[in-house]
Chains A and B, each alone.
Chain A
Amino acid sequence: MGIQKITLLNLGRFDRNILEKISSAVHLEFLLKVEVIENHSDLTVFFDSGRKQYNGNSLLKMLEANFGNDESKTMALVTVDLFIPILTYIFGQAYLGGRTGITSSHRLSNERYGLEKDEKLFTLRIIKEVNHELGHCFGLIHCHQPGCVMQSSTYVEDIDQKETGFCSSCAEKLKTGINP
């Protein structure tokens, strides 16, 4: 049996309005039922006092252990700043072809870069990152096609360069990932 739904795990107390926009956009790309689950787990256990950031690897392991299931792909949404031991920061992370992923909004807002608040752009960036990480969950690797959401992004400007959707090649592979 293929994947039945996508679960958005709200670990970051995102408001209903933004969650609805993300859900709709995800549904549009993956054509799967999207369910939002509220969860207020304490993330401080993943806090690294040395780096003053949250360990993405450990968080992903916890998600896999507690929320991973074969019928859905679970994407956790957090507001905390994520790192992995080798990198100074990450926007998100997922197991390639795995069941879970994380997206952080911490570095996606304009205010962080001293720019004027732009709620629409912020939401759009989250949607792109969620779709990108979900793409990894469905087995997609980074794509070099300009505009494809699976393009690797190091900076927020890179995220702005891409679309919310997949290029034709990734879309084709995604179909196989959803219905293997």
Chain B
Amino acid sequence: MHKKISLLVVDDEESVRDSLLNWFLEDGFEVECAENANKALAMLENRNFDIILTDIKMPGMDGLELLKRIKTIQKEAIVIIMTAFAAVDTAVQALKNGAFDYVTKPFDPDDLSHLIRNASRQIVLAGENEQLKSHLTLENVQDIIGKSEAIQKVLLEVQSVAQSNASVIITGESGTGKELFARAIHANSSRKFFPMVSVHCGALSESLLESELFGHEKGAFTGAVYNRKGRFEMADNGTIFLDEIATISMKMQIELLRVLETKSFMRVGGSKQIESDFRVICATNRDLKQMVDNGTFREDLYYRLNVVNINIPPLKNRLEDIPLLVDHFIKKYCNAMSRAAVIIEPSAIRRLQEFDFPGNVRELENMIERAIVVGNGKEIRVKDLPLLKETVVSQVESLDELEKKHVLTILNKYEWNISRTAKALQVDRVTLYNKIKKYDLKQS
């Protein structure tokens, strides 16, 4: 037995209470007794019991009513109904109301042992289940690369939101991988066996988007030669991912709000109401709240969508993930190009970590792909990443940003030797430590 299982015996007959008390104590259970339903309920207000054995016929509140009340106080409690009369209809009623089992007094000792053993097993299993759930790891997130605190925090948010049905808005700069995180939410939700349907709202005109989302009937417009299911319909029981949600027109915002509220819609040109059970995940690189304030995004839709907000950090805020990402992309493209694995020289990694990556992970991915194509086939060198210099100088940056980068560059150059770095920067060690603290610099 994993833990001492607690039992509450509710019976108006003292001899029954005493017998059960003694029997269960000998079996090593923790047992308490109550002579009526009200006392049992009062005891349940103060503490939980794993198993509650209750008589059905008691003065005042009977066992069936007590069962209902127990289920409102302590839903997971296992309630076993005892009665002196074998009445099938009462038994059925008790089971319908959530009783674990039903026994007729007096019990065969073996029946009682079996009953309690089964109930105990269920409790132990429920406990283990809870424990396992709390240790559940995210599935299908192998494409989300990163060990940085920032990305781990996002993964935790993904894990906690995945099992709910709440609408999610994923925000983040372009190229941060918002769709990957949407897929991770879907893959770890109860809807994972149904489709996740993606719609890139920014790529479609208003009329096309309408047809895409709601579907259309044959002849609804020129070119509508077949009936076509919309994305909402396709996402039935699954998830719909609306990328670049900020780009949709006001008219579409109204349509979308209506669908989200009713989970029903009509195809373009149709007259039949179609119902679909989907979860919505949206993504945007814009500040939707700002758009609401400006009047370009509907406030009601914003609140409907923004039940949970997950913000994906830009790559510049997780520089320590760059080596892992580079490694991942090298493997990916070497495989895709059927090339032998290449390595990247440490100085190239350092240069990458000094870069701002306005295009985020997508930009890094493209850079690595290009470097593999143009490189010598053995290693990626700094000169294989030519965009770095140009892009760095093209940025307009604050003095603080420049200082941060410069300090990090010199620190990396001297492999984080504080004395040598301070000497090179012509500052004392304390000043250097202050700069490291100020800019939250970390050795990669």
Contacts and interface: CB of A to CB of B under 8 A. Distances in A.
A155 B108 CA distance: 10
Interface string A134-155: 0010000110000000001011
Contacts of B22: 84, 93, 95-96
Contacts of B180: none
A89 B112 CA distance: 12
Interface stretch (B23-31, B38-46, B399-407): B23-31
Contact of B106 (A86, A95, A96, A154): A86
B16 interface: yes
Nearest to B19: A84
B18 interface: yes
A95 B110 CA distance: 20
Contact of B26 (A57, A136, A154): A136
B106 A141 contact: no
A83 interface: yes
Of B13, B18, B25, B106, which is in contact with the most chain A CB atoms at under 10 Å from its CB?
A: B106
B218 to A, nearest CB: 71
A154 B113 contact: yes
Contacts of B82: 86
A141 B27 contact: yes
A85 B15 contact: yes
A152 B117 CA distance: 12
A179 interface: no
A110 B251 CA distance: 89
A59 interface: no
Nearest to B16: A85
B20 interface: yes
B60 interface: no
B28 A141 contact: yes
Contacts of A84: 15, 19, 22-23, 106
Contacts of A142: 26-28
Of A86, A95, A155, which is in contact with the most chain B CB atoms at under 10 Å from its CB?
A: A86
Contacts of A136: 26
Contacts of B112: 86-87
Interface in A111-129: none
A96 to B, nearest CB: 5
B107 interface: yes
B295 interface: no
A88 interface: yes
B105 interface: yes
A57 B18 contact: yes
Interface string A39-51: 0000000000001
Contact of A96 (B19, B25, B108, B110): B25
A90 B109 contact: yes
Contact of A86 (B19, B27, B28, B110): B19
Nearest to B84: A85
A57 B113 contact: no
A85 B105 contact: yes
A84 B23 CA distance: 10
A145 B26 CA distance: 15
Contacts of B16: 85-86
A87 B15 contact: no
B7 to A, nearest CB: 13
Chain B interface residue count: which class?
20 to 34
Contacts of B18: 57
A144 B88 CA distance: 35
Given A93-B22, A154-B113, A88 B28 contact: no
A152 to B, nearest CB: 7
A85 B25 contact: no
A96 B26 contact: yes
B110 A57 contact: no
A93 B23 CA distance: 9
Given A96-B25, A152-B27, A57 B108 contact: no
Contacts of B19: 57, 84-87
Of A83, A90, A96, A136, which is in contact with the most chain B CB atoms at under 10 Å from its CB?
A: A96
A152 B108 CA distance: 14
A95 B18 CA distance: 10
Contacts of A93: 22
A58 to B, nearest CB: 8
Nearest to B105: A86
B4 to A, nearest CB: 10
Contacts of B23: 84, 86-87
Contacts of B20: 86
Interface string A88-100: 1110011110000
A153 B18 CA distance: 20
B108 A88 contact: yes
A94 to B, nearest CB: 8
Contacts of A88: 106-109
Contact of A87 (B13, B28, B109): B109
Given A95-B22, A96-B22, A142-B27, A85 B13 contact: yes
A51 B105 CA distance: 12
B114 to A, nearest CB: 9
Contacts of B13: 85
A154 B113 CA distance: 9
B171 to A, nearest CB: 56
A175 B189 CA distance: 55
Interface of A: 51, 55, 57, 83-90, 93-96, 136, 141-142, 152, 154-155
6 contacts: A87-B108, A87-B109, A90-B109, A93-B22, A96-B22, A96-B26
